[in-house]
A and B are shown apart, each in its own frame.
Chain A
Amino acid sequence: MMALDLSQNKHADVSYDEKERLFDEVKADDRWQHVLYGCYECGICVAACPSARFYDFSPRVIAQAVAREDVDLIYTLMSDSIWDCSQCFSCDRCPRQNSPGQIITIMREVAVKNGLQTAKEALEGYGRIIYKIMSTGSQVSPDMLQPDAFPDWGTHVYEIAENLEEWRKALPPETLHTTETGWKVDQKTIIELYLIWHMTGVMDLIEGVDEGLFMILVDVMEERLEEAGYDDITFD
């Protein structure tokens, strides 16, 4: 009888050694010792998980796959299922103190660091948000409320998009009279952020996942850093 293969052999083109290397990178993470202890199969994590209600997703499958060190299945999950998690950590109520959510955090980081195609696809839709956060320090900006980005809002979003400046001016604090950023961001804050991105190597991660995004971020950052007197800092 053939052994049950939950990975469905979806990634037979990737060598076992490569899959094992990626899992070793997950296990080498400092947080690894604190996120997985064993599984009763009680299903409390699944019951608490909002993503499990809406997607073909189960935090228990994640915890069990890594506990069993099922390298093929782990790669399959890294290429698909881990991107269904909403990272709300409702699963942290595990009686064994497992944290499927944090296991996924580590798996996602490894997927991004290694430039996995599925990581690129999963993050594609977030390009503009990453650009906003990293270039301006403010995350969701009012001008993201566009009809093509929020079709589920119906006609209301047309009205908002068309009269955005007026809506924003109606807000009492002047620091919120912005449309391109969520609020007026201080120059000092921005420069500090850029220096943090530079020191921590975050830009190398971005370059691996989205070269176009990397290019335009570097352009903005190097220009503003130079204006602030940091003309010796480059990201390339």
Chain B
Amino acid sequence: MAHEEVKGCVILKDLHYSVQDNTWVKADGDIVTIGMTDIAQSLAGPILHAKTKGVGTSRKKGRPIATVESGKWVGPVKSPVAGEIVEVNEGLASDAQLINRSPYKDGWVVKMKADNLAVDLSELTTGDAAVAAYKEKIEQDGIECSHIDDTDTYD
């Protein structure tokens, strides 16, 4: 999978990102998978709890779809699209560090049926533009990504 690494932070080029909220979206028809970025997991540190909202919950864009707690931080995962949660990652309840080890794969957070996918996707950033946006953010905020053991590799 095409990716780029900036200060240890992995950015996959085929995903759509909300750079500000550090979330990613992968669309499959009108169902989207949503997760936290490598930068988000790194800033949070080893995650202790990731509590998702239930299936059937409708969310506006920017509203929380999960609450994530680490040793030093707590915050929302904000929905990058508007829609209804159709599936949650059950694995996170017993092993929240899936998000740390595999932010773009096994550590996905929820799947949603998007209300207005084309519009929402057009407001997100992807490809080289996403890499450029993250480069700027990483530089500006002095971010350097760190990873726990058994983290996914991208070759």
Contact = CB atoms under 8 A, between A and B. Distances in A.
Interface range, B side: 10 to 19
A10 interface: no
A131 B71 CA distance: 13
Contacts of B48: 143, 146
B63 A215 contact: yes
Nearest to A129: B74
B154 interface: no
Interface in B43-88: 45-46, 48-49, 53, 63-64, 67, 69-76, 78
Contacts of A216: 64, 67, 74-76
Interface in A189-236: 212-213, 215-216, 219-220
A212 B67 CA distance: 10
B71 A144 contact: yes
Interface of chain B, main secondary structure: strand
Nearest to B67: A216
Contact of B76 (A148, A150, A180, A215): A215
Contacts of B78: 212, 215
Interface string B16-54: 000000000000000000000000000001101100010
Interface string B122-135: 00000000000000
- Tell me which of A125, A146, A148, A180 has the highest count of chain B C-beta atoms within 10 A of its own C-beta: A148
Contacts of B63: 215
Interface residues on A, range: 10 to 19
B138 to A, nearest CB: 19
B28 to A, nearest CB: 27
Contacts of A127: 73-75
A146 B73 contact: no
Nearest to B65: A219
Contact of B72 (A149, A213, A219, A220): A149
Nearest to B63: A215
A216 B77 CA distance: 9
A148 B45 contact: yes
Given A146-B46, A216-B64, A219-B53, A125 B72 contact: yes
B75 A213 contact: yes
B53 A128 contact: no
B67 A146 contact: no
Given A216-B75, A219-B53, A148 B64 contact: no
Interface of B: 45-46, 48-49, 53, 63-64, 67, 69-76, 78
6 contacts: A127-B73, A127-B74, A128-B73, A143-B48, A147-B71, A215-B64
